[in-house]
Chains A and B, each alone.
Chain A
């Protein structure tokens, strides 16, 4: 699976970081960094949770 973030939409609410800290990190500059663009399958449910919780619908999952 591939994580795609639309950074025009992302407002760094940081809910994704709470759901899947292995994949998403909002750093001290208040920007979101994707730590793994192709996370392993065992993180799927966490990443799906992050997709669901994003208030800006900025995250999509391919594959």
Chain B
């Protein structure tokens, strides 16, 4: 097990939720805390050292410290890293959120009760950070470059529901608002941002949540196909005896007839296990119905399948007004997605229907 981070593997979802809020201690994050045997004598840990190159012919991974590890089978699970804004300066108070260290640095800044927190990007991570900061009693401005948050995933109507969730909690949500520049306080600390329309927003903490980039640079020239991730076949195989899993893997999911890369917690687990079985000779295709959840304020948002901005959307349970509902997404005569707000049971039932290939007409 080779990892760039100095820590043993840990659970990331609480980093934007319970740990950032201060309600969970970091000792609950290691996978060892949930029964994964990290002390298994069969596992050698090489932590705090990134992989630098892959030599497929010699079957060897070269590491940043100059050493090399040879293999019979290789699982590529190098994940993704946060995307930065163009020209994003290196100032105290500007944060991104991906790792445990990122989370602790941001939490320390939130503990110092800043007068305003600006969150750039109203995707799921940005929305969770905004919700957590707001629940800590801080003033929050949430900036989104699109006209509607999550437009490309949820479409206009459901994206607007998510926008209202934040407005009702007192978040200053500004749509169609990109960030053109940052300004500082003269002593190396951020003091605010300049928006695309020229207005300024003062803030002593800025969190940039504008997505992630798969970590594939170390594989350039290796002979593997790299295209927005490590390109695999439908079984997660990237080359003989080489598989990929998690945020870094891109593969054709036959269930949706789509080549996809999935950045969800559950997929990291499921695809990891699938890829390991593939190495052991089980050539079953990997065709999950992707699923994830996001906790914002007292709402649990869950999304399964492959919803898109041009799908037909139908509310099948509850109501938007009470923010307790299920919306289903249909495309080309098929049920392709389900969105739930505080309705976990029906989300799982519709997820099963998606897996069963249910037609749109029977919903």
Interface residues of chain A, those whose CB is within 8 Å of chain B, are: 11-15, 17-18, 26-28, 30, 51-53, 55, 57
Q: A53-B266, A55-B265, A57-B28 are in contact. Are A30 and B293 (CB under 8 A)?
A: no
Docked-complex contact B269 and A13, CB < 8 angstroms: no
Interface residues of chain B, those whose CB is within 8 Å of chain A, are: 11, 13, 28, 33-35, 265-266, 269, 291, 293, 295, 300, 302, 342-345, 347-348, 351-352
Docked-complex contact B344 and A12, CB < 8 angstroms: yes
What's the least CB distance linking A51 to chain B, in Å? 8
The residue in chain B whose Cβ has the minimal distance to the Cβ of A21 is: B348
Docked-complex contact A18 and B13, CB < 8 angstroms: no
Q: A18-B352, A53-B266 are in contact. Are A11 and B345 (CB under 8 A)?
A: no
What's the least CB distance linking B235 to chain A, in Å? 21
B residues near A11, Cβ cutoff 8 Å: 295, 300
Docked-complex contact A30 and B265, CB < 8 angstroms: no
B residues near A55, Cβ cutoff 8 Å: 13, 265-266, 293
Give the residue of A30, A51, A53, A57 whose beta carbon is less than 8 angstroms from that of B344: A30
Docked-complex contact B266 and A57, CB < 8 angstroms: no
Q: A14-B344, A26-B344 are in contact. Are A52 and B293 (CB under 8 A)?
A: no
A-B complex: 8 closest residue pairs judged by Cβ atoms: A14-B344, A14-B348, A26-B345, A12-B344, A57-B34, A18-B348, A26-B344, A14-B345
The residue in chain B whose Cβ has the minimal distance to the Cβ of A17 is: B348
Q: A30-B342, A52-B269, A55-B265 are in contact. Are A13 and B34 (CB under 8 A)?
A: no
